[in-house]
Amino acid sequence: MNYLLISIWCFVISFSYPNMPKDIKQFKIKNNDMNENVSRDTIVFGAGCFWCVEAIFQNVNGVLEVIPGYCNGFTKNPTYKEVCSGQSGHAEVARIVFDSQKIELSRLLEIFWKTHDPTTLNRQGNDIGSQYRSGVFCLNNNQLEQAQGYKDQLDSEKIWSNPIVTQIEMLDEFYEAENYHHNYFNNNRNQGYCKYVIEPKLDKYNKVFGTIDSGK
């Protein structure tokens, strides 16, 4: 088992048990300066509620922009209410715009798989429904092949006891979510979901990855 797979397994254990291992490699994460010369690329991730996905990836070094939205359903211009009903077919996702000179797609995929449970079908914790499905939605064949290869490797190493159910497919159409969903955690830190779902997840993430690369 290579180091990357070992680190993912350690992270899975750390989210399953209260005492996280202290010898896990830690990463510093922060936003880039939008005025720098950058090489922009885009990938779309679904990993449960898009407020959680946004909150995590806003802190990743090399990520330029995180936009919550909906994708790969069958209702045109869906509303949040329609998506939450589970009847529109869309997934709650975050569009990740990143500087490929500062962070590689493989690193983003590593963070994606480390920060949610990809073995629960249409569910993350108490968020249940097809809108909360795990998915990597790709913009080109290279992304598709890389994501599928990564998933196959994780499955072959049996990092999780159950098989990965993450959908890996081409992005059909992305609809940007309503304005009040943008920067949701930072704007609503005292809201119940933020305090009791997102904040503990960020705290655990930062304890493992936040000290070296972010100066936290």
DSSP 121: T
Instruction: From 55, 28, 24, select the one nearest 210 (Cα to Cα).
Output: 28
**What is the Cα–Cα distance from 118 to 43, expressed in whole angstroms?**
17
- Dihedral (C-alpha) 81, 83, 88, 92: value to the nearest 10 degrees? 170
Among the options 49, 52, 138, 194, which is catalytic? 49
- Catalytic site includes residue 52: no
Query: Residue 89: which region, alpha, beta or left (left: phi > 0; alpha: psi -120 to 50)?
Result: left
Q: Which residues participate in catalysis according to the annotation?
A: 49
